């Protein structure tokens, strides 16, 4: 690790990414004394930390998921507000990933680091749009870091779902979507496309949908699938949102011959979509696609790019082709290649 310059600001420790001048971790995977949390997804926000700095929305999401934010409490920072921690000044700016998601902008006397967390560049009616912050060192995700991933327009994908409802008016449409972010975005996109019927929710989706509504994201009429004991209704022609794992579980049997849809960036690749047992793949992603990733590493004008979370190798290669100093964080100590 460099002794000075922007690279000296961040260190890889067993707990996760550590900001030395500020004495805090960003999205640590083990409980730490002080953490900055970029967003509420489980691989970024974990319970049990001492102090937590995050956006108001992310704190609310953590509260609703864990029942508590941190032992010594959470500190809310609005987008753009500067908070001093140790010798670092921290500012959270929108990442466009899910409601409340932020990039951590860290200013020190060694320069400026931006840790992106997860992000996307395209419009999302459920959260604030990604903001480009020029910096010296940019830490980017690379979930879809291969040039085969070019996410199509979301309106077209939602159109596929609506057309399928017209083609199969008697079949329930089960849409697998992650409970935080994707589910609400699917609902909001449906509303924008003029779909105003009630949308049905698996029990696991309810809490976060309610929270989104409380935080000002209007999702229209929502109904629970499980109303009353053993309630059985005909869901033919209705949209039912559920966690992806429920698509093929015992729970889904009540819908009979349902159309199984899955809203995910992975649906781009046919054999993957097929292996997840999906009949209607919807390419809807809350992560940047290849074009967004490669545009971002240029837009931030950073000299150094660190790549983490996903397919680092290709993006590191591309960044080097752009003449940037790029490294995979896995080389620096991480070893994660999951999805």
Partner 1 sequence: MRAYADLLEALVYTSARNGKLAILRRYFEETPDPDRGWALASLTGDLDLKNVTPSMVRGLIESRVDPLLFRLSYDFVGDLAETASLIWPEKADADAEAAHPNDLSLSAAVDQMTAVKRKEAPALIERWMDALTPSSRFALLKLGMGGMRVGVSARLARTAAAELGRVDVGALEELWFGLTPPYTELFAWLEGRGPKPEVKSHLAFRPMMLANPLEEETLDRLDPGDFAAEWKWDGVRVQLTAKPGEGALYTRTGEDIGAAFPDILDYAQFDATLDGELLIMVDGVVQSFNALQQRLGRKKVGKKMLTDHPAHIRAYDILFEGGEDLRALPFDQRRARLETLWERTQPGRFDLSPLVPFEDWADLTEQRQSLRGAGIEGLMLKRRDSAYLAGRPKGPWFKWKRDPFTADCVLMYAQRGHGRRSSYYSDYTFGCWRPAQGDTADEWELAPVGKAYSGFTDEELKKLDKWVRAHSTERFGPVRAVEPGLVLEVAFDSIHRSKRHKSGVAMRFPRIHRIRWDKPHAEADRIESLMALVE
Identify which of residues 1 and 321 has a Cβ nearer to partner 1 in the complex.
321
Q: Which is nearer to partner 1, 148 or 231 (CB)?
A: 148
Does the protein bind partner 1 through residue 12 (CB under 8 A)?
Answer: no
Report, in Å, the least distance between residue 339 CB and partner 1: 7
- By CB under 8 A, is residue 274 in contact with partner 1? yes
Report the nearest approach of partner 1 to the CB of residue 269 (Å). Answer: 5
Question: Would you state the structure tokens that stand for residue 58, as one six-digit string?
Answer: 């992310």
When asked if residue 278 is in the footprint of partner 1 (CB under 8 A), the reply is yes
Segment interacting with partner 1, rule: CB under 8 A, options 46-54, 132-140, 235-243, 268-276: 268-276
In the list 73, 277, 301, 322, the residue contacting partner 1 (rule: CB under 8 A) is: 277
Pattern of binders to partner 1 over 115-154, x per CB under 8 A? -------------------------------xxxxx----
71 or 320: whose CB is closer to partner 1? 320
CA–CA dist 129, 137 (Å, integer): 21
For the chain, where are the E strands, in sequence order? 10-13, 16-19, 24-26, 34-36, 51-54, 74-76, 82-85, 88-94, 102-108, 111-115, 137-142, 173-176, 199-201, 222-224, 239-242, 259-263, 280-282, 304-310, 325-328
161 close to 124: Cβ distance less than 8 angstroms: no
155 binds partner 1 (CB under 8 A): no
Please check whether residue 262 is in contact with residue 176, taking contact to mean a CB–CB distance below 8 angstroms: yes
Of 72 and 274, CB closest to partner 1 = 274
Does 298 bind partner 1 (CB under 8 A)? Our answer is no
Which residue in the set 55, 143, 264, 318 belongs to the binding site for partner 1 (CB under 8 A)? 318
Q: Which residues contact 49 (CB under 8 A, 6 or more apart)?
A: 28, 31, 32, 33, 34, 35, 70, 71
CB closer to partner 1 out of 81 and 337 = 337
244 binds partner 1 (CB under 8 A): no
φ and ψ of 62, to 5 deg: -65, -40
331 contacts partner 1 (rule: CB under 8 A): no
Least distance (Å) from partner 1 to the CB of residue 274? Answer: 6
Per DSSP, the three-state class of 61 is helix
CB 164 within 8 A of CB 134: no
CA angle at 28 for the pair 26 and 30, rounded to the nearest 5°: 160
227 or 271: CB nearest partner 1: 271
Contact between 279 and partner 1 by CB under 8 A: the answer reads yes
Number of residues that bind partner 1 (CB under 8 A): 28
**Binding to partner 1 by residue 197, rule CB under 8 A?**
no
160 binds partner 1 (CB under 8 A): no
Taking phi over 0 as left and psi of -120 to 50 as alpha, with beta for the rest, 230 belongs to: left
d(CA 134, CA 114): 8
Pairing of strands 199-201, 259-263: unpaired
Q: Does 256 bind partner 1 (CB under 8 A)?
A: no
Give me the phi and psi of 35, to 5 degrees please.
Answer: -135, 145
Nearer to partner 1, 44 or 311 (CB): 311
Which residues form the interface with partner 1 (CB under 8 A)? Answer: 146-150, 268-275, 277-281, 311, 313-314, 317-318, 321, 335, 337-339
């Amino acid at each position: 690790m460099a002794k000075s310059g922007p690279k000296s600001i961040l260190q890889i420790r067993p707990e996760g990414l550590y900001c030395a001048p500020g004495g805090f971790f960003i999205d640590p995977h083990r409980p730490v004394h002080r953490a900055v949390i970029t967003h509420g997804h489980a691989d970024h926000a974990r319970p049990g930390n001492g102090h937590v700095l995050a956006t108001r929305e992310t704190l609310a999401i953590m509260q609703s998921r864990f029942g508590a934010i941190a032992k010594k409490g959470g500190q809310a920072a609005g987008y753009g507000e500067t908070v001093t921690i140790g010798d670092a000044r921290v500012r959270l700016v929108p990442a466009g990933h899910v409601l409340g998601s932020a990039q951590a902008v860290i200013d020190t006397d060694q320069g400026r680091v931006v840790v992106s967390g997860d992000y996307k560049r395209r419009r999302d009616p459920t959260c604030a749009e990604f903001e480009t912050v020029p910096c010296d060192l940019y830490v980017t995700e690379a979930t879809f870091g291969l040039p085969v991933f070019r996410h199509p327009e979301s309106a077209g994908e939602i159109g596929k779902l609506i057309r399928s409802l017209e083609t199969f008016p008697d079949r329930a449409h089960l849409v697998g979507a992650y409970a935080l972010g994707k589910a609400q975005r699917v609902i909001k996109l449906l509303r924008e496309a003029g779909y105003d019927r009630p949308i049905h929710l698996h029990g696991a989706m309810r809490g976060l949908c309610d929270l989104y509504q409380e935080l000002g994201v209007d999702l229209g009429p929502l109904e629970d699938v499980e109303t009353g004991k053993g309630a059985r209704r005909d869901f033919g022609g209705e949209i039912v949102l559920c966690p992806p794992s429920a698509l093929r579980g015992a729970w889904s049997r009540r819908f009979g011959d349902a159309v199984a849809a899955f809203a995910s960036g992975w649906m781009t690749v046919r054999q993957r979509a097929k292996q997840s047992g999906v009949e209607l793949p919807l390419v809807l992603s809350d992560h940047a696609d290849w074009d967004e990733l490669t545009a971002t590493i240029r837009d931030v004008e950073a000299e150094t790019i660190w790549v983490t979370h996903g397919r680092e190798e290709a993006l590191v290669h591309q960044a080097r082709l752009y003449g940037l100093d790029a490294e995979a964080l896995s080389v620096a100590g991480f070893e994660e290649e999951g999805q």
